[in-house]
Structure 1
Amino acid sequence: MTELVATTPGLFPLPDWAKDRLSDLKGHQKSDLIAGDETGELAETYDDVRTELVETQIDAGLDRVTEGQGRWDDMLAHPLTVHDSVETRGIVRYYDNNNFYREPVVAGDLTPGGDVAQELEAAATQTDDLQAVLPGPYTLAELATNEHYADRSAFLNAVAEFLAGEVAEFPAHETLFLLEPSLVEDAPEDGFDALASEAIDAVAEATDAEVVVHPFYGALDEKVYAHLMDADVDAIGFDLVANHEQNVYNVQEYGTKDSVALGVVDGQNTLVEDPETVRERFEWFDSQIPAQEFDTVYLTSNTELFYLPVNKAEAKAETLANAADLEEVTQ
């Protein structure tokens, strides 16, 4: 019988009180509101943010709880922008939207730093249903600039090794979501798509948890998807909000893993879906793949939630939890 698990890709919006306090502590320019080596009251503020974001997810009834990533002002580039071997330079557009991050320029060896592990250890004191979140290696490499490694392939391998080293330091966690929007937005060319799959493998091998690779902002090219199927992961994500038809075609044509993650609420639109609509989206997807019964279906937003106002992000989390608890929908 299929288990429905309500979760999110993390990166929740900062509570309004936290924005005000961080502004007072770090200055008035947006470029100063960037996580790094926090101490004192600044570190305490981020601790308070984490506590609230975890409590919000628990109160919403989610089955998997992320750390919330309140410090990730550079979004998915965060694990590099706080690294000692990385220089941060100009402000870069975060995909095709009005969010921006500092360009991480890798100028030295990418050794594990334990930054994300520390956040997860703190979150683990609040929940036994912990879900770790990281950028996938291909996405993190694409968001960065390499000024240290020999070539693009060597850089991707180094990023994968770096992330695997980070994962090895994580506390016990139920799932690991590797967010890979660049597989859609900046699809790897022939040959490099296989390397991207191998890099994902390297990160997945570092944990005993269930590993979900979650691309979004659309659907994967067929060849990219076929290579991703070679990765030894437990589930692949499908953005049913941005492109449900191509995503279903990929599954029909190339199959998928025994479990899937489905982006069934819109992480970039303030309209809050009702649980019945979300459940119907899952049931529709399931009906298109009649030959396969999934072990686990992760019901999630298609993108990270930081695009949304706080109340809308909370409402969508509740929708996902309620959708997972509904009785079977009749088609």
Structure 2
Amino acid sequence: MKAEAYIFGIFPRDERLIEATRRYPQRIKEMVTERTKKLLRLQEGLSYVSDPLLGWDDMLRPIVQNFEGMEVDGLNRFFETNTFYRIPVTVGKIRSNGRMFSRIMAMDLLKETGRPFLLELPDPFTFASLCLDKYYGDKGGLIEDYAKAMNGELKDVKDDNFRLLVLKAPSIAFASREEDLELIKKGLRVLTDGLNVPAILHIYFRKVDTALSHLGQLPVSGIGIDLFASGSKVPDDYRYECLALSAIDARNTRMETVSGSLRKVKEIVTRLNLKKLYLTNNSDLELLPYVFAIRKVRALRTMLKATEEAM
């Protein structure tokens, strides 16, 4: 088994960037670029590098603003966090015109690192669940068109260092109806069709044991499981060759320890036959103060090194 590590999601802004957002809007682009470079350097020692998404206000809006057939509406609370998102509204058929990632992510900076990088987006079911639909009339059509659009965008990323796809799927943890389970499978099949990179489906904010047993085998390489959610664990009948383990908690400033991480890893690898184990965060680090997010990324680097030495 091979151990790797990465972070995903929106990174918190430091105080100077927050202040500039209020007082010096003309400097925002320059400051975001400068801090993005700094946070890419912070990820040296991890297996993949990811865009910290400092220009994103939520995980939906940049995508929605680059789709035809969509608008944004008022604010809504993002699950049980203290963050909010602009509600996406479907007003026509969802379409994209290509090269979306070059507009919404720091693709040039990712490529300049010369390192393997990951891309991330909401899974189709989560995206549809957070939308206000004024066009389709059924969730299935919305999910299918979103998945088709993002499948095309991902295939348009022609770079050998694009090595991992992270699908952020908090809504799946709350899905229980049979029709929802079928929509989840359908959306993932369409989105991942023909892709040559492994996809990791991150389900968080709630334990996922029941959902995984009902969903059966999904067309992804592995599941990201939030072990910090109350009662959550990796089920004994876990069926995937890869597992993304939440080694750091993005919802608590308490620092995790290397010894605690190793205990989790050893307990899991003795039960499961895994090809690859990813160490990562459980949700967006923006839920933490900036200084604690920095510390947790550094801790993750140390955890990876210790895990590699222990294997």
Scaled by the length of structure 1, the TM-score of the pair is 0.84
- Residue number among 156, 171, 186 corresponding to 1:182 in the alignment: 171
Q: Gaps spanning 5+ residues in structure 1: where?
A: 27-39
Residues 108 and 148 in structure 1, CA contact (< 8 A), matched pair in contact too? yes
Give the percent of matched residue pairs that are identical in Structure 1 and Structure 2.
23
Q: CA deviation at 1:231?
A: 1.9
Residue 84 of structure 2 aligns with an amino acid whose one-letter code is F
Q: Does 1:239 align with 2:219?
A: no
Q: CA deviation at 1:199?
A: 0.7
Separation in structure 2 between the aligned mates of residue 217 and residue 93 of structure 1, nearest angstrom: 14
Alignment of 1:5-84 (within 5 A): 5-26=4-25, 41-58=27-44, 61-84=45-68
* Equivalent residues, number: 304
Q: CA deviation at 1:69?
A: 1.3
SS in 1 for 2:278: strand
- 1:297-320, CA deviations, whole angstroms, 9 ceiling, x for partnerless residues? 011111111111122111111111
- 1:156-211, CA deviations, whole angstroms, 9 ceiling, x for partnerless residues? 11121122122122243111110101101x31511221221121122222531111
Separation in structure 2 between the aligned mates of residue 126 and residue 171 of structure 1, nearest angstrom: 16
Separation in structure 1 between the aligned mates of residue 2 and residue 47 of structure 2, nearest angstrom: 11
Residues 73 and 89 in structure 2, CA contact (< 8 A), matched pair in contact too? yes
Separation in structure 1 between the aligned mates of residue 73 and residue 169 of structure 2, nearest angstrom: 23
- 1:78-97, CA deviations, whole angstroms, 9 ceiling, x for partnerless residues? 41245353222111001012
Q: Gaps spanning 5+ residues in structure 2: where?
A: none
Separation in structure 2 between the aligned mates of residue 144 and residue 78 of structure 1, nearest angstrom: 14
Residue number in structure 2 paired with 1:115: 100
Residue number in structure 1 paired with 2:297: 317
Alignment of 1:120-269 (within 5 A): 120-122=106-108, 123-172=110-159, 173-184=162-173, 186-220=174-208, 222=210, 224-226=211-213, 228-243=215-230, 245-248=231-234, 251-252=235-236, 254-269=237-252
Alignment of 1:271-282 (within 5 A): 271-282=254-265
Q: CA deviation at 1:52?
A: 2.4
Q: CA deviation at 1:261?
A: 0.6
Separation in structure 2 between the aligned mates of residue 78 and residue 92 of structure 1, nearest angstrom: 16
Q: CA deviation at 1:134?
A: 1.1
Q: Does 1:306 align with 2:290?
A: no
Residue number in structure 2 paired with 1:35: none
Separation in structure 2 between the aligned mates of residue 175 and residue 189 of structure 1, nearest angstrom: 30
Residues 139 and 183 in structure 1, CA contact (< 8 A), matched pair in contact too? yes
Separation in structure 2 between the aligned mates of residue 76 and residue 282 of structure 1, nearest angstrom: 32
Residue 201 of structure 2 aligns with an amino acid whose one-letter code is V
CA-based RMSD of the aligned residues comes to 2.1
Residues 92 and 100 in structure 1, CA contact (< 8 A), matched pair in contact too? yes
Separation in structure 1 between the aligned mates of residue 62 and residue 241 of structure 2, nearest angstrom: 31
Separation in structure 2 between the aligned mates of residue 268 and residue 302 of structure 1, nearest angstrom: 8
Q: 4+ residue runs of structure 1 moved beyond 6 angstroms?
A: none
Q: CA deviation at 1:121?
A: 2.1
